[in-house]
Structure 1
Amino acid sequence: MLNRRSFLRSASAGALSVYMGQELMAMEHARQTTGIAIEDTIWLASNLNPLGASPKAMQALSDSSNQAYRYGDHKALALQEKLHQHHNLPFQSYEDPKQYFAKYDAFTHNPVLIGNGCTQLLNAAAMAFGDNGGNYIESFPTYNQLGRTITEHHPGMKRTQVPVNDQYQNNIPAILAATNKNTRFIYLVNPTNPTGTVTAKADLMRLINETPENVIIIVDEAYMELADPGATVSLIPESLKRPNLLVFKTFSKVYGLAGLRVGYAIGPVPLLQQLNRRTDGMGFQNLVSMAAASAALDDNAFIQASIHHGNKTKAVMQQRFSDYGFTPIPSHTSFVWVKTGRNNTAAVETLRRRGVFIKDGQSYWQRPGYLRVSVGSDDDMARFYRHFEEVMGV
């Protein structure tokens, strides 16, 4: 299997875009300002899969590339059916052609909506459920894509941020206490980003049982495949029973397809229809991305290898950070949230000038004294530790 540096040296521009998109722009900026070649950068800032993309997905991408001149299927039926099988969901085929070509905002009677990455679906949720007269609730710190979109399009909507508890977990009792008659939705990331912790099943069930049905619950499960078995549960089965529960998933993390932009939401059809009305145009999906995502679902060997590499690397990271005198938080994701107790902003900038990219808690989440470091390849991690020790003086 290629490591990341050899992949970057040998890959075409198209293959690179499958693995990483905006990261390449940051790397190019670093190259221009520091002279460091892109393949020599160490990118531990976006929680990408350090093993690259699923080989089965890449083969499907190649096999379907001769169809790139065609428009994609706006319902992405092949991937929809595959996802229904993968998650053991009920699926009804479109036997009547008139039903298939129905107006796109009445797009489906199935509980899956596919989008161009979860970002598109989060933006759609902000547009669909945002309300200048109401409020929404999220943990603090958390993944902030939805919050940015709310701020832009619904500046009058109140953002209620509930601090994580002393174990860095979503504080469900406090979230429920913050819910009031003006609350439109709750956004919960599980496993969490950036702290990397999980919410226990009992707390999740309390949240969905005690939240009023007129309040929508959006649960972002981008890292669920990486959580330790038994530590938490997916709410996908519950989303089929509840009128107000949506679960978002992505192919960007364990499947290694961040550059192809494939995400999906599962939940009540009326809520999915509201999201679909706020996606771009007719919602035509990228034909080759759909083929790659469908194949990735079958690549269990790659998924297990990715999980194994992540767990092995996190164990070393946590030990190294502890040896440095810092406090790493046990992680169920592809990164480690670490408390340094320092102002890290200058150090993170110094690392960037060396071609090493990590996330500063202060700059991204208003949490001074913390860093988020993604799992990397063995080669990247060895070079990261060397630079980190020199810059941090540990």
Structure 2
Amino acid sequence: MPGTPAVPTRADLVSLPSYVPGRTVPGAIKLASNEVPGGPLPSVAAAIAQAAALVNRYPDLGAQALVSRLSRELDVPEQRIAVGCGSVSLCQQIVQALCEPGEEALFAWRSFEAYPIVTQVANANSVRVPLTDAHVHDLDAMLAAITPRTKVVFVCNPNNPTGTVVRRAELVRFLDAVPSNVLVVLDEAYHEFVTDPDVPDGMEFARERSNVVVVRTFSKAYGLAGLRVGYAAGPEYVVDAVRKVYVAFSVNALAQAAAIASLDAAGELLERCKEIVGERVRVRDSLLAAGFEVPETQANFVWLPLGERALEFSEHAMDHKIVVRPFAGDGVRVTIGTPAENDQFLEVARSFRR
């Protein structure tokens, strides 16, 4: 029968965790996926419409126009920049390019839930290092966990889903101590929301160090989550390897055009980020006043470390038409929405029986 397996698939796929996206519920306010509430700017929408007229043609395989634009923006040579189908795709390409089967990718936990998935897909082994009690990367413990089989270390800064950050002095001390044959990936998907001046711009390390790569995305601050485009910047030998495992044409023509237009409109888009940051502060202060524990966040979301009550809180919010993102046994991540959406969420949060 057609549905009966005839060719064996990888046995380890049974244990492969599934990526859990934020739920979309018709009629409910979605605060589950870290999207920005505003749609594309008119100039970006116009660039997408213009590119749509040419979708009968394959996109530029190397996204050269976007790479050139990023090179000027970041002050990084073009040969040290790779573009991918969102930063998560680049994370998987990095593991595929650097890890032999059975070698290790190390990361904090809880952190970005795709790390264990992309690691296992690449036939590497995940090493998870618990966060501190303050919900921050325990860099000393991560250093201690590095072994001769460790090839890649992910540092998510700000961390998803906690929003917490690693500051300059501790990050520099960590990078100085990591063996030179281990690649450190600074995942800065939420970089544009950072306001703490003591949180470094990872690009300065990617320019200077031979074992540091920065990955970023246009999905968050630039509002292109539906088009899937991100980039990595780092040593040329790493970028060359990452490009070799790129799925051909996976960054489509609309995404390339929209990313360039978004960079051209960066000032206007980053003003919207400032509005989100203002709401982030207001939402956190209101939750603290209501008696919740909420770590300081530098992203476009807040983290409620509710432990075993995470799912209960999520269902309570759902009962009131608010969709949040629970992580069973750990906590709940809540994206910052519009002021009106945030007001409704805060009302629901205050009504949660604690």
- Give CA deviations for 1:64-106 in whole Å, capped at 9, x if unaligned: 2212222111111111111011111234xxxxxxxxxxxxxxx
Equivalent residue for 2:7?
none
Shift, 1:388, TM fit: 3.3
Specify which of 62, 69, 86 is matched with residue 75 of structure 1.
Answer: 62
User: 2 CA distance for matches of 1:387 and 1:125?
Assistant: 41
Q: TM-score w.r.t. structure 1 length? A: 0.79
Equivalent residue for 1:251?
218
Identity of matched residues, %: 26
Shift, 1:353, TM fit: 4.7
Indicate how the Cα distance of structure 1 residues 210 and 53 shifts in structure 2: closer, same or farther if over 3 A, else same. Answer: same
Q: Which amino acid aligns with 2:71?
A: H
Contact 1:73 / 1:284 at 8 angstroms: preserved in 2?
A: no
- Give CA deviations for 1:180-219 in whole Å, capped at 9, x if unaligned: 2121211110111111111111222222222112111111
Question: Following superposition of structure 1 onto structure 2, how do residues 305-324 of structure 1 map, counting pairs within 5 Å?
Answer: 305-324=271-290
Shift, 1:352, TM fit: 2.8
Q: Which amino acid aligns with 1:355?
A: K
- Give CA deviations for 1:123-146 in whole Å, capped at 9, x if unaligned: 222322334433221111100212
1:62 match: secondary structure: helix
User: 1 CA distance for matches of 2:174 and 2:275?
Assistant: 33
Contact 1:143 / 1:194 at 8 angstroms: preserved in 2?
A: yes
Specify which of 223, 233, 238 is matched with residue 271 of structure 1.
Answer: 238
Tell me the matched-pair count. 334
Question: Following superposition of structure 1 onto structure 2, how do residues 339-378 of structure 1 map, counting pairs within 5 Å?
Answer: 339-340=305-306, 343-362=309-328, 366-367=329-330, 370-378=331-339
Residues 1:61 and 2:28 are matched in the alignment:
no
Specify which of 158, 162, 165 is matched with residue 198 of structure 1.
Answer: 165
Bigger shift: residues 134-143 or 47-56: 47-56
Shift, 1:354, TM fit: 4.1
2:309 match: secondary structure: coil
User: 2 CA distance for matches of 1:147 and 1:127?
Assistant: 13
Residues 1:135 and 2:104 are matched in the alignment:
yes
Q: Which amino acid aligns with 1:317?
A: V
Shift, 1:342, TM fit: 5.6
Structure 1 residue runs of 5 or longer lacking an equivalent are 1-21, 31-37, 92-109
- The list of structure 1 runs, each at least 4 consecutive aligned residues, that deviate by more than 6 angstroms after superposition, is none
Structure 2 residue runs of 5 or longer lacking an equivalent are 1-20
Contact 2:107 / 2:153 at 8 angstroms: preserved in 1?
A: yes
- Give CA deviations for 1:357-376 in whole Å, capped at 9, x if unaligned: 111232xxx42xx2211100
Indicate how the Cα distance of structure 1 residues 342 and 159 shifts in structure 2: closer, same or farther if over 3 A, else same. Answer: closer
Specify which of 119, 123, 126 is matched with residue 88 of structure 2.
Answer: 119
Q: TM-score w.r.t. structure 2 length? A: 0.87
Equivalent residue for 1:383?
344
User: 1 CA distance for matches of 2:227 and 2:125?
Assistant: 33
Specify which of 179, 182, 187 is matched with residue 149 of structure 2.
Answer: 182
